[in-house]
């Protein structure tokens, strides 16, 4: 397997290339918008690893929740590449990607993404990664009150957490062994700001 993972759901985008030998992750540090940096970074990573796009056997992408624009960019790029190359794309959600580094510690993991004004996106995972509370749009304080006391908190919405962002390395690892599909679909758990303003 040679799998390329894309992550662009927050302020920092990242890529990961997973092969039988290793998983190389690259953070995209740029003031430019993700649509301007993502594909050039993909080209650079593949070139550095002496891999051509036709060598890829699968794509993985973080489908959100997160920035509406960022989610759309990542999913659209992954779907376009998958269609052009004739390979499957594997969706991974941002909250499970956040939880991944903290699994296997005999404690549940609560992943929380800040959506401002006390709102967010949250999910709770067992130590083995089993979903205990599915990804949902939440009010952060009520969500925190229903969590087990020993839960590990991670993400930008966790008041005593680590402020972590989803990373492409976790997306790649989670995608291993999962079935691919023809295209991925964004995981939007609340209306966009534009949709809310239109309804108002």
Q: How far, in Å, CA of 155 to CA of 136, rounded?
A: 14
Q: How far, in Å, CA of 73 to CA of 13, rounded?
A: 11
Give the pLDDT of residue 192: 55
Per-residue pLDDT tens for 26-46? 999 887 889 899 999 999 999
Rounded to a whole number of angstroms, the CA Rg of the chain reads: 17
Q: Which domains occur in the chain, in start order? A: 3-94+166-199 (3.30.420.40), 95-154 (3.30.420.200)
Per-residue pLDDT tens for 109-141? 999 999 999 999 999 999 999 999 999 999 999
User: What tokens does 61 get?
Assistant: 């992408």
Give the pLDDT of residue 190: 81
């Amino acid at each position: 397997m040679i799998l390329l993972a894309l992550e662009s759901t927050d302020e920092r985008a990242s890529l990961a290339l997973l092969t039988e030998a290793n998983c190389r992750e690259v953070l995209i540090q740029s003031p430019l918008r993700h649509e301007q940096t993502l594909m050039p970074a993909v080209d650079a990573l593949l070139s550095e690893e002496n891999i051509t796009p036709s060598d890829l056997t699968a794509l993985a992408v973080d489908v959100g929740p997160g920035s509406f624009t960022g989610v759309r960019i990542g999913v659209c790029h992954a779907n376009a590449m998958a269609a052009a190359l004739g390979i499957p794309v594997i969706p991974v959600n941002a909250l499970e990607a956040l939880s991944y580094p903290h699994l296997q510690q005999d404690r549940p993991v609560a992943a929380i993404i800040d959506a401002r004004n006390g709102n967010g996106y949250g999910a709770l995972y067992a130590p083995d990664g089993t979903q205990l509370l599915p990804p949902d749009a939440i009010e952060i304080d009520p969500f925190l009150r229903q969590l087990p006391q020993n839960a590990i908190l991670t993400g930008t919405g966790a008041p005593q957490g680590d402020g972590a962002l989803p990373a492409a390395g976790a997306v790649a690892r989670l995608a291993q062994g999962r079935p691919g599909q023809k295209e991925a679909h964004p995981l939007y758990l609340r209306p966009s700001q534009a949709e809310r303003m239109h309804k108002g």
